[in-house]
Structure 1
Amino acid sequence: MKTFASTVAVAAALAQCVAGHAMFQQAAADGKDYGTTCARVPSSNSPVADVSSASMACNANGGTPVAGICDAKTGGRFTVEMHSQPNDRSCTNQAIGGNHFGPVIVYMAKVADATKASPSGLSWFKVDEEGYDAATKVWGTDSLNKNCGKREFTIPSKIPAGDYLVRAEAIALHAAGQAGGAQFYMTCYQVKVAGGSGGQLPAGVSIPGAYGASDPGIKVDIYQGLTQYKIPGPAVVDRSFV
């Protein structure tokens, strides 16, 4: 049963809903800034709400390839970057505001040609995540705001070289106390990965398909004294690929 305080918190969060919308837009690899070169930037900063929608893979227009590609390497560092408005990289503005608290997750999927690949039917493996630290009360989205919208992760060193789609996602849980209340913000990046000593790919999941509307990390009341949080989807790839 919701408390009065919880109800007030949800109402306040909903009142800021539109102001908190955001998009992953830019990327960098090992310190080289690619801007939006390889990003299939969504047509708007609105979220996806239906976990069964085809838009869950790369957002509403994420199935449309772009001409650019970002060069990266296995074992290298890759950065995805979120902001609320197109081309606004100002660190004075929150990357995702309006009490849009939630996890940040990054997946990769191997493709034949990143500049042509459809996101449908791919096998996505998780390479990075940040959920909720109950001790510090810090969410993955809080870290995005602190780091000027940037989330850096290591590309697994033992995956095959070649083309990939990198899928960056933030899940806003301010209204997730009921099924369908979670908001999903994702963008896919077209990346060519060099190096790679491995011939195998990590086990992957289908998107849509990896999440259920009632999963504990998706249908959750974050205003009810949360002491732990289960990040949706599979585990991050194991050490054998790192």
Structure 2
Amino acid sequence: MRTAFAISAFAATAAAHATFQELWVAGADEESTCARLPGNNNPVTSVSTNDIRCNAGSKAAASKCSVAAGDVVTVEMHQQPGDRDCTREALGGNHFGPVMVYLSKVDDAATADGSSSWFKIFELGYDSSTKVWGNDLLNKNCGKQDVTIPSDIAPGDYLLRAETIALHTASQAGGAQFYMTCYQLTVTGGGSANPTGVKFPGAYSASDPGIKVDIWGNGFTEYKIPGPAVYSG
């Protein structure tokens, strides 16, 4: 029964793509002013290209968003540009998967190319007891996910990378779909921490158990989120 459902899901959801588009800072809606929006809402499917950093066709945003260390920011995802209608799923069509957020310290967020190191500040994968995925909660919350900026990181410019991975066809090589957007931030306050990180490409392998995985199989009971551990501060 589950296999039949999976096949029907594949057929019905080919166009259910999306992008992280907006950012809220301490409850204030900054819209897309500091978002490097990609060229379209299609996913990245290769972990070995530079597109895995900030998505394909993304360009510098209009400005930087100022964020105090320790504040909560909210990334917001929708299927179409500018469409914030909460009656539609953020990422529709059974595109189940985790949600992750990274930061990268840069000299200038407006010009940084994403080649510097990234450290993870948030992740939400799969709850086997409820069978709820991280991006299920995005859909239930009008595409929004709250994330706390670590209170101890050094002030300055950062790129924030919000990502979800759709795993509905991930049982085959290259089947995972990566949706990410980078936001340009200037972090104020904070401390002196400069966490070690990972590089994109390089942080993920196409064969990672959280990237090449059959979420429809009868043997699927738990999920390993790819990438490094979350920075604890």
TM over 0.5: yes
Deviation at 1:18, TM superposition (A): 3.2
- The answer to whether 1:34 aligns with 2:27 is no
Q: For the residues of structure 2 that align with 1:9 and 1:57, how far apart are their CA atoms?
A: 33
> By how many angstroms is 1:6 displaced?
4.9
What residue number does 2:205 align with? 212
Distance 1:16 1:152 in 2: 30
Matches within 5 A, 1:90-169: 90-119=85-114, 121-169=115-163
Amino acid paired to 1:41: L
Task: Tell me whether 1:180 sits opposite 2:174 in the alignment.
Answer: yes
Other structure's SS at 2:181 match: strand
Q: 1:114·1:164 contact (CA, 8 Å) conserved in 2? A: yes
Instruction: Kindly indicate whether the alpha-carbon contact (under 8 Å) linking 1:95 and 1:144 is maintained by their aligned counterparts in 2.
Output: yes
- Of residues 43, 50, 55, the one that matches 2:51 is 55
* Structure 2 residue ranges without an equivalent (≥5): none
- In 2, the alpha carbon distance for the partners of 1:231 and 1:17 equals 23
> Judging changes above 3 Å, is the alpha-carbon distance between structure 1 residues 17 and 53 closer, same or farther for their aligned structure 2 residues?
farther
Quick one: which of 39, 44, 65 aligns to 1:43? Answer: 39
Distance 2:17 2:9 in 1: 12
Deviation digits for residues 101-148 of structure 1 (CA, Å, limit 9, x no counterpart) = 0000000000111111111x2100000010000000000110000010
Pick aligned residue for 2:63 from 52, 68, 88: 68
SS in structure 2 at match of 1:57: helix
Report if aligned partners of 2:118, 2:199 keep a CA contact under 8 Å in 1: yes
Partner Cα distance (2:12, 2:159) in 1: 32
C-alpha separation in 2, matches of 1:86 and 1:19: 14
Matched-pair contact (CA < 8 Å) for 2:159–2:182:
yes
Whether the 8 Å CA contact 1:80–1:152 is kept in 2: the answer is: yes
Q: What is the DSSP-based 3-state SS (H/G/I as helix, E as strand, rest coil) of the residue aligned with 2:46? A: coil
Q: Is the 8 A contact 2:23 2:29 kept in 1?
A: yes
* Alignment coverage as a number of residue pairs: 232
- Contact 1:126–1:236 (Cα < 8 Å) also in 2: yes
Give the conservation status (yes or no) of the 8 Å contact 1:16–1:99: no
Contact between 1:22 and 1:185, CA under 8 Å: does it hold in 2?
Answer: yes
Contact 2:24 2:30 in 1 (8 A): yes
Equivalent position amino acid for 1:94 in 2? E
1:235 partnered with 2:229 = yes
Deviating beyond 6 angstroms after TM superposition, the runs of 4 or more aligned structure 1 residues are none
TM-score, length basis structure 2? 0.97
Instruction: Give the root-mean-square deviation of aligned CA atoms.
Output: 1.1
- CA shift for structure 1 position 10: 3.2
Please report how far the alpha carbon of residue 13 of structure 1 lies from its aligned counterpart in structure 2 after TM superposition.
2.3
Q: Does the Cα contact within 8 Å between 2:41 and 2:79 map onto a contact in 1?
A: yes
Shift of 1:7: 4.0
Deviations 1:180-207 (A, max 9, x none): 1100000000011110122x31110001
